[in-house]
Amino acid sequence: MSKEASQPRERILETAYELFLRQGYNSTGINQIIEEADVAKASFYQHFKSKEDLCVGVLEKRHNYIEEQLQALSAQKRSAKMKILASFDLIALLNEKEDFRGCAFLNILSEIPVENTKVRSVIHSHKSNIRQSFKELLQHAELADHIYLLYEGAFVESQLYRDQWPVNRARKIVNSLIN
């Protein structure tokens, strides 16, 4: 366990993420998170007012993790094309590391009601950030949107098939789309 994870807030976030990933957001109760994170109920509520607030914290932490991993993968890449292809490499790495559990943001989105604007806005922000990064790298909005849709489709389909072929195929298509 990392030094960060020894802090109650970090243990709660890591435990909640693992449980949401493994059994789903709606099937995970606060009491289970408290028990498995080994924190007092008062400590949980000191950091998070509700399960919704916890979900926001989990997704924000996940966003930062993905940004850091993508930065690490693309740091040595010089061209926009190679930086974009690195995002598909990240999907493949996450699939291997997390046993094809898919995109945490889309998984949670599928479980929350439309009215949950607090969580939906965090998901929307994360997805918009990915889309915008493709646009900034390419300076071509339509092509960036095509690549964004391939990226999202690769993530979803690799979860469905529990295989890397959708990621590999999407990466190959992107490689041919970018001149």
Which domains are delineated in the chain? Answer: 1-48 (1.10.10.60), 50-177 (1.10.357.10)
User: What does the pLDDT look like over 87-138, one tens digit per residue?
Assistant: 999 999 999 999 999 999 999 999 999 999 999 999 999 999 999 999 999 9
Instruction: Please compute the mean of the pLDDT values over residues 49-55 and round it to a whole number.
Output: 97
| C-alpha closest to that of 122 among 64, 42, 36 | 64
User: What does the pLDDT look like over 58-72, one tens digit per residue?
Assistant: 999 999 999 999 999
Band of residue 3 on the pLDDT scale cut at 50, 70, 90: very low
The per-residue pLDDT for 5 is: 59
pTM: 0.93
Q: Is the pLDDT assigned to residue 86 strictly greater than 50? A: yes
User: What is the C-alpha separation between 136 and 138, in angstroms, rounded?
Assistant: 6
Left (φ > 0), alpha (ψ -120 to 50) or beta: where does 79 sit?
A: beta
DSSP string, the chain: --TGGGSHHHHHHHHHHHHHHHH-STT--HHHHHHHHT--HHHHHHH-SSHHHHHHHHHHHHHHHHHHHHHHHHTT--SHHHHHHHHHHHHHHHHHHHTT---HHHHHHTTS-TT-HHHHHHHHHHHHHHHHHHHHHHS-HHHHHHHHHHHHHHHHHHHHHTSSHHHHHHHHHHHHH--
Helices 51-74 and 8-23: crossing angle, nearest 10°?
90
| C-alpha closest to that of 52 among 106, 5, 115 | 115
